[in-house]
Amino acid sequence: MAILKIARMGHPVLRRPAEPVEDPTAPEIVHLVADMLDTLADAGGIGLAAPQVHVPKRVMIFTVPPHRTADGDGVAMTVLVNPVIEPLDEAKALGWEACLSVPGLTGAVPRWSHIRYRGHDLQGNLVAREARDFHARVVQHEFDHLEGILYPMRMADLSLLAFAEELKHGLPIEADGTPGED
């Protein structure tokens, strides 16, 4: 296990679609995920996708803190290999996001509010869930990394992109969550 270097916005590995994983149970994928978990713990984030550690494969990990789900339970650390997402209705919400590949910045991003997603875990089992609100947002953010998309590319209003520290002087808009927290 190891802490890996995180690619920042501008690195080509973050701009191209990642490749499907043939076998989620393969030792190199298990090893990759162990290193991603170490890297995420060290960085203090809530989600990480393999391209962010310079590995262009369709692997992502995430967790949702208890206070960010309606039931207060949060979502335990989840590993998804070859994930797919579908929105379950048309509703979108604006919420603050941050990204380990875009350090220091935060932005208000529109995302689907209610989605279904599925993928495989490291045992090869299917993981299939519905998600709402912040849980849905985190999954969409990490999934986008596998498509070569960073959250600023999803923003409808770039005046809502800011250095998180500067927002202590006041928020430009009301949106879900806390700027820069993720």
Q: Which residues bind to Ni ion, rule: CB under 5 A? A: 99
Residue 99 vs 175, nearer CB to Ni ion: 99
DSSP state of 17: P
Burial environment of residue 25 by CB neighbours within 10 A (0 to 12, 13 to 18, 19 or more): middle
Active-site annotation, residues: 142
Shortest distance in whole angstroms from residue 168 CB to Ni ion = 22
Rounded-to-integer distance, Cα 176 and Cα 133, Å: 9
Distance CA 22, CA 13 (A): 20
Beta bridge partners of 93: 111
**Enclosing H/E stretch for 79:** strand 75-87
CA 54 to chain centroid, in Å, comes to 15
Provide the minimum distance between the beta carbon of 150 and Ni ion in the complex, in angstroms, as a whole number.
7
The residue sitting closest to Ni ion, measured at its beta carbon, is 99
Nearer to Ni ion, 25 or 38 (CB): 38
Q: Smaller CB distance to Ni ion: residue 26 or 152?
A: 152
Q: Which is nearer to Ni ion, 120 or 141 (CB)?
A: 141
Structure tokens at 89: 């209705």
Helix residue ranges per DSSP H, the chain = 27-43, 133-146
Residue 99 CB, shortest distance to Ni ion, in Å, is 3
| CA 167 – CA 106 distance, rounded (Å) | 9
Minimal distance, residue 47 CB to Ni ion, in Å: 7
